[in-house]
Structure 1
Amino acid sequence: MPQLSSRHWLAAIALLTASQVQAAEVKVDVLQNRLAHPWALAFLPQDQGILITLKGGELKRWQPGKGLSPAIRGVPKVWAQGQGGLLDVALAPDFAQSRKVWLSFAEAGDDGKAGTAVGYGRLSEDMQQLEDFTVVFRQQPKLSVGNHFGGRMVFDGKGYLFIALGENNQRPTAQELDKLQGKLVRLTQDGKVPQDNPFVGKAGVRPEIWSYGIRNPQGMALNPWSKALWLNEHGPRGGDEINLPEAGKNYGWPLATWGINYSGLPIPEAKGTSAPGTEQPLFYWKDSPAVSGMAFYNASTFPQWQNKLFIGALKDKDLIQMSVDGNKVTEDGRLLGERNARIRDVRVGPDGYLYVLTDETDGQLLKVSPAA
């Protein structure tokens, strides 16, 4: 294995297999089933329930004791093919006043291909409609035939919105700064380009770009202790990563990767596990769990979960528990493997419990807590 910097030496810990680590038992309550491939969830304030996106194009509200609402009207038409569809959902930081609900989704182009788009609408007082939905961002050009849309959104608490974008399974585009494939973009809360973005004013470069060299981002969250943004992404065959995306930096794909092609051959463009001018991951997995949604635990409800990071796994059908110490992270174990279900999203609820979505035809909303 190549020598890593001191910042990244803990990536080697990821070589442990799930059988080598054990996690504490958990209690799981099934709150809702019969969800057709749910993708993301967001908590409404004042115990008004949870918004859930379904990949096929529906946004619904779940409430305790009442179950699932009919589809909320006013959601944009989505391109629901392959990995595309209705993706992430996030409440605007000023939701109490604006009632803005943000959605990311796959949007069709004119040539049978698609790209990620982002917009917002105003949630009506009766919670039955998104009014005046406005698209403020479109991934350009539209290149996906069904792969690697990304779509996770995070408001950073400083007035900015980050959107993680896949490279549409077009590897070279992640390094091409005139395209929005394989990029993390940063916008204002109104969907405009901040003037202090790292590439603003540079010829031939998209000004929305914050960082690049990303393959297929599937989880993103703000670290509550450092306030830094963390992002995870799928590698090819091996090499799933956690990165700390910083302004203007290159995270390597496809020039540097800890994975290989699905054929078993090296990635054609790869220079190895590192390449000049690129950043090493904070953490990587030699064998890809197919990471998905991620959430830091900073609630007081369960002290044993303090300073933990939870990440869903699609291929491994599990919930990964990790310990965080500054910018060092180690895997503790897996929590939900016995359910044999693809984990798509995980969030910490206002009550301090974990809420998890399983990405299945008959998907579930789970409420998870330590067993004791």
Structure 2
Amino acid sequence: MASRTIDGPGSGLGPLVPGKPRPTPIRRGRPKAPIPKGLAASLAVFLLLSVMLVASRPAAAVSGTLEVMYDQLHWPIALAFAPDGRIFFATRYDGRIMIIENGTVLSTPFYQFDHFGKWHDQGLLGLALDPSFPNEPWVYAYYSYNETVNGPDYNRIVRVQATGDTGGSMEVLLDHIPTGVWHIGGPIQFGPDGKLYAVIGDSYNAANAQNLTSLAGKVLRLNPDGSVPDDNPFAGNSSVNPYIFTYGHRNNFGIAFQPTTGDVFVTENGPTCNDEVNRLIPGRNYGWGPVGFAATAGVCPSPPSVNDTNQDGPDPVLPLVWYTPNIAPTNAIIYDGPNFAPWHGDMFFGTWNTRNLHHLHLAPPLYDSVVSDDIVTTLPDTDLGGVLDVEVGLDGAIWLTSQTSIYRFYDTSPLPIASFTTSPTRAFPGDAVIFNGSASYDPNGSIQSYAWDFGDGFSASGVVVSHTYSTYGEYEVTLVVTDFDNLTGSETASIRVLALPSALFAFGPPRPLEGASVTFDASKSTDPDGNISEYRWEWGDGSDPSLATRSVADHTFAKFGAYLVKLTVTDTDGLTDSTSASVRVFAPPSAVFTFSPASPHAGQVVTLNGSASFHPDSQIVSYEWDLGDGSTGTGPIVQHRFSAAGSYLVALTIMESEGFTATAYDTLSVNASYPPVASFAVSSALVSPGTEVTFNASQSTDPQGSILAYTWDFGDGTTGADMTTVHAYPDSGA
């Protein structure tokens, strides 16, 4: 297979070597002055130890997959991702800016440049979108321009106004940038400072790199409108071109910005040796020029030295890393996307000769030194070219381009697996809950940290942690595990902190009697985080418990006494609560009374006796009589004369010491009253004064009973009693 080059004779982009890449050792910059042998030996040991220390650091176990997104293209040398999802790309030798929209390459170019130069290194080389695109609808380009058919060629930086998918008017921002067959650079990028940077080769004239009036061999810095930024290092210096940011460059093909520090990094192609990655310091010299050109003409010195290509001009800044043999580094990025977590802040660049994507691990927090260099992917053998552009896509993948294709390298690193358990499984407010994440694991390494979010505003770290919830509720607990590669995995699970139900009941009547139904009402029982599903009543009287889903139950106590009634409620979580209350059941008093005589006559004294009334567990404290004729009485025994014959409903109401009453009723029949019949006999109707006369009333009768008393009036002013009596009249008379 014939070798291909994209640079001129003796260039660092060198020939394309098919097949697998060769090892590319990292070389760090050394002092320009010769090093004494003893010191050199000491430094060699030091560097060996440094390499050993770097090698001992566990590598980030990131894995990715390279896939072809678009092929059969013609030199897609630069990509630009629009916030709206469109991808702009430049075709080097066609002079076209194309658009990919919704996964399809639009057939109509966004813009076609005319008077377009495309000899060897020339072409459409750089592409960038305004930082506020599409609100600021400018698309920037760096390309080679033929002023006339056979006239002078030069490069220019322009911007094209976008209207949808079509480019409109073009503005030239910086013109007459030196060009040539080789070494004219290419990429342009906006930095985090909002300025446009352009990397320009020396136009295959090493003297240009040290000539501060020439734009060749420089990194340039412009305002978006093409004017010179006031803070450019040479602004206001009439002897220096004010666009110059750094100088002393041979042929830069890549530029990248560290978003945290704002530092600028470039890749630079050497001659037949000493490809470089440089960190730019505004206004500084990077050492390429005629002396270095002469020293490396044809072939680089052996052994190679970083000073071979860094010896022109004042105080050259040495590269972060350098490569011999050549790898031909192309465009670069500092990764700050959402994926490839271990690579955040690291630099990536493509290579033309070896067709690789290199990864430089930069040491935080300054990111100004290289810890390690490794190759993360290589273009497939079926792709004849090397890597042209490297960009971070909106999807977080690293996008690459080659002569014919656009690739996407996406993260397929296995994430750590977060897993945890809780104990106890049924927690209550105030309980210490143990969260155990020891079941978490990392498929290709080890977990370094465990971060817990308990869902109530509190957090913790550690494999096993304890947490107490102050209130019941459902909480989303999240465990985030981070592995050695800074990849994370998470698990979220709900934990319910349960609330116990509260049992409460009332009953009525509050002073129930034996044999009477008592209603028990548990409707005031509550469950803060659910519902009560069952009510269990234990009556305390030896009867079977009652189970119900209703909150109201009825029960009859057969005998008076004190009973401890217990209610147990069960909620929908199976949790229970119980409460008890003493229920005193009373026996009713019994009122009874008798009449004497049982069948009285009107006017006859009747004795009413209620002393046989009783109460089994207390004393009777009052007796109230209603005699049925409007008369009343009190006390256990009363007497009363009913003045008229008739039926009288007599009521006795008794009250015992607890206030319970009982009333007994009975009807008393009072008979009518008939007077007795008086009749008497005299022993002699004629007697002498002083002679005793016997009076005998035994013949008197009582139709309704017996005569109780006899009263005599002898007619002489004296009286007598008894049924038979004797009286003597002292004087004669009738």
1:349: how far off? 0.9
1:251 aligns to 2:286 (yes or no): yes
| Aligned residue runs from structure 1 range 142-291, under 5 A | 142-144=178-180, 146-254=181-289, 261=296, 263-264=298-299, 272=308, 274-275=310-311, 276-291=314-329
Deviation per CA, 1:133-181: give whole Å up to 9, x if none.
11110244x351x211112212223232111111111111110111111
1:364 to 405, 408, 412: 405
- Output the CA distance in 2 between the equivalents of 1:337 and 1:69: 30
Distance 1:30 1:274, change over 3 A: closer
Amino acid at match of 2:370: V
Distance 1:239 1:194, change over 3 A: same
Do the aligned partners of 1:238 and 1:258 also contact (CA within 8 Å) in 2?
A: no
**TM-score in terms of structure 2 length:** 0.45
Amino acid at match of 1:355: W
Q: Give the secondary-structure state (helix, strand or coil) at the position aligned to 1:81.
A: coil
1:354 aligns to 2:390 (yes or no): no
Aligned to 2:69: 31
Distance 1:271 1:139, change over 3 A: farther
1:214: how far off? 0.5
- Output the CA distance in 2 between the equivalents of 1:84 and 1:198: 29
Aligned to 1:116: 155
- Output the CA distance in 1 between the equivalents of 2:66 and 2:226: 38
1:257: how far off? 5.7
RMSD: 3.1
1:68: how far off? 4.2
- Output the CA distance in 2 between the equivalents of 1:38 and 1:260: 35
- Output the CA distance in 1 between the equivalents of 2:172 and 2:184: 16
Deviation per CA, 1:263-319: give whole Å up to 9, x if none.
2156xxx97454352111122112221000111111222324323321000011111
Q: Give the secondary-structure state (helix, strand or coil) at the position aligned to 1:95.
A: coil
- Output the CA distance in 2 between the equivalents of 1:4 and 1:73: 48
Q: Give the secondary-structure state (helix, strand or coil) at the position aligned to 1:162.
A: strand
1:116: how far off? 2.3
1:258: how far off? 11
1:305 aligns to 2:340 (yes or no): no
Name structure 2 gaps, 5 residues minimum.
Answer: 1-27, 33-42, 52-58, 414-734
1:184: how far off? 1.1
1:3: how far off? 3.7
1:346: how far off? 0.9
1:251: how far off? 0.5
Distance 1:90 1:159, change over 3 A: same
- Output the CA distance in 1 between the equivalents of 2:82 and 2:212: 37
Aligned to 1:50: 87
1:328: how far off? 1.1
2:369 to 324, 328, 334: 328
Amino acid at match of 2:390: V
**TM-score in terms of structure 1 length:** 0.85
- Output the CA distance in 1 between the equivalents of 2:151 and 2:61: 45
Which 10-residue stretch deviates more, 201-210 or 158-167? Answer: 201-210
Amino acid at match of 2:400: V
2:389 to 332, 342, 345: 345
Do the aligned partners of 2:295 and 2:308 also contact (CA within 8 Å) in 1?
A: no
- Output the CA distance in 2 between the equivalents of 1:83 and 1:171: 16
% of aligned pairs identical?
A: 26
Aligned to 2:170: 133
Amino acid at match of 1:347: E
Amino acid at match of 1:335: V
Amino acid at match of 1:138: D
Do the aligned partners of 1:299 and 1:306 also contact (CA within 8 Å) in 2?
A: yes
Which 10-residue stretch deviates more, 215-224 or 277-286? Answer: 277-286
Distance 1:301 1:327, change over 3 A: same
Q: Give the secondary-structure state (helix, strand or coil) at the position aligned to 2:282.
A: coil
Amino acid at match of 1:89: L
Aligned to 1:17: none
- Output the CA distance in 2 between the equivalents of 1:67 and 1:109: 31
Do the aligned partners of 2:155 and 2:179 also contact (CA within 8 Å) in 1?
A: no
Q: Give the secondary-structure state (helix, strand or coil) at the position aligned to 2:199.
A: strand
Amino acid at match of 2:316: T
Amino acid at match of 2:167: L
1:90: how far off? 0.6
- Output the CA distance in 1 between the equivalents of 2:335 and 2:278: 18
Do the aligned partners of 1:116 and 1:165 also contact (CA within 8 Å) in 2?
A: no
- Output the CA distance in 2 between the equivalents of 1:304 and 1:253: 35
Q: Give the secondary-structure state (helix, strand or coil) at the position aligned to 1:97.
A: coil
Amino acid at match of 1:288: N
1:96: how far off? 2.7
Q: Give the secondary-structure state (helix, strand or coil) at the position aligned to 2:118.
A: coil
Which 10-residue stretch deviates more, 205-214 or 276-285? Answer: 276-285
- Output the CA distance in 1 between the equivalents of 2:84 and 2:190: 20
- Output the CA distance in 2 between the equivalents of 1:28 and 1:64: 20
Residues paired across the two proteins, number: 353
Distance 1:233 1:2, change over 3 A: closer
Do the aligned partners of 1:184 and 1:212 also contact (CA within 8 Å) in 2?
A: yes
Do the aligned partners of 2:296 and 2:309 also contact (CA within 8 Å) in 1?
A: no
Amino acid at match of 1:346: V
Name structure 1 gaps, 5 residues minimum.
Answer: 14-20
Aligned to 1:18: none
Distance 1:261 1:274, change over 3 A: closer
1:334: how far off? 1.8
Deviation per CA, 1:7-38: give whole Å up to 9, x if none.
xx89x97xxxxxxx999653122110011111
- Output the CA distance in 2 between the equivalents of 1:120 and 1:106: 14
- Output the CA distance in 2 between the equivalents of 1:311 and 1:352: 16
Amino acid at match of 2:116: V
Q: Give the secondary-structure state (helix, strand or coil) at the position aligned to 1:62.
A: strand
- Output the CA distance in 2 between the equivalents of 1:81 and 1:327: 37
1:188: how far off? 1.1
Amino acid at match of 1:337: T
Q: Give the secondary-structure state (helix, strand or coil) at the position aligned to 2:65.
A: strand
Do the aligned partners of 2:362 and 2:369 also contact (CA within 8 Å) in 1?
A: yes
Which 10-residue stretch deviates more, 51-60 or 104-113? Answer: 104-113
Distance 1:197 1:67, change over 3 A: closer
- Output the CA distance in 2 between the equivalents of 1:87 and 1:153: 8
Aligned to 1:95: 133
Do the aligned partners of 1:27 and 1:371 also contact (CA within 8 Å) in 2?
A: yes
Do the aligned partners of 1:30 and 1:366 also contact (CA within 8 Å) in 2?
A: yes
Do the aligned partners of 2:60 and 2:342 also contact (CA within 8 Å) in 1?
A: no
- Output the CA distance in 2 between the equivalents of 1:201 and 1:225: 29
1:109: how far off? 5.0
Q: Give the secondary-structure state (helix, strand or coil) at the position aligned to 2:207.
A: helix
Do the aligned partners of 2:278 and 2:321 also contact (CA within 8 Å) in 1?
A: yes
Distance 1:201 1:31, change over 3 A: same
1:353: how far off? 0.7
Do the aligned partners of 2:272 and 2:300 also contact (CA within 8 Å) in 1?
A: no
Q: Give the secondary-structure state (helix, strand or coil) at the position aligned to 1:98.
A: coil
- Output the CA distance in 2 between the equivalents of 1:225 and 1:255: 36
Do the aligned partners of 2:77 and 2:91 also contact (CA within 8 Å) in 1?
A: yes
Deviation per CA, 1:308-343: give whole Å up to 9, x if none.
321000011111122111211244322333513410
1:72 to 101, 104, 110: 110
